[in-house]
Chain A
């Protein structure tokens, strides 16, 4: 199956700093999503971005599908940004039924200190 690798595994920042999280995947994908898992376990949808660039406030993401990677940028980080960031991908093979069948990376644990 498809492999998803995220880097770095851990990231510690001071409030106000910028950061870049990377997601590499081993095969062509039809769906790529970034999530933030909060301390209670809930997955918050950040971006649905199988290709191209999107921005939402202090966060932006870029996926270069031909080179099989995606980047999540966090600018002016805040303590509330702390948590685990997951990249997840889906690909449809013959007989596949849904783009929602996701394979997750191992995540990046972000800690933002005041």
Chain B
């Protein structure tokens, strides 16, 4: 199989605080993970590409300092939303491709972030 686990599934935080979201590949190694954002009734938009052992690559318009990405191992990438504001409230979802077969992408369950 190819299971990607994301944690937490829901989080509510206060404005100005930081929130960390974890994305783990449970039964495979992933050299590359991706972070997407989805607003209500909209499609998924790629935020950044997370590469193990190197800096993340951010899409145009995504603030690097607000969305910190760390990919410390072949099975874990983290997204930290820093100094969160209500407009950061959204559904964040990660995906990963297998190290041994970089074709099909597999997605985590997603994290619904609400900033109050």
Q: Which residues of A contact B (CB under 8 A)?
A: 31, 33, 35, 40-43, 45, 48, 86, 88, 90, 97-107
Complex partner residue of A97 from B49, B93, B106, B109, CB under 8 angstroms: B49
Closest 4 CB pairs of A and B: A100-B97, A100-B105, A48-B104, A43-B107
A101 touches B46 (CB 8 A): yes
A98–B54 alpha-carbon span in the complex (Å): 15
A43–B97 alpha-carbon span in the complex (Å): 15
* Interfacial chain A residues near B43, Cβ < 8 Å: 86, 104-107
A42–B97 alpha-carbon span in the complex (Å): 17
* Interfacial chain A residues near B51, Cβ < 8 Å: 97
Is B77 an interface position by the 8 A CB rule? Answer: no
Q: Which residues of B contact A (CB under 8 A)?
A: 32, 34, 38, 42-46, 49, 51, 91, 93, 95-97, 102-107, 109-110, 112
A45–B38 alpha-carbon span in the complex (Å): 17
Closest to A98 in B: B32
A33 touches B46 (CB 8 A): no
A33 touches B49 (CB 8 A): no
A98 touches B102 (CB 8 A): yes
Closest to A30 in B: B103
Complex partner residue of B104 from A31, A86, A101, A105, CB under 8 angstroms: A31
Complex partner residue of B32 from A33, A41, A97, A105, CB under 8 angstroms: A97
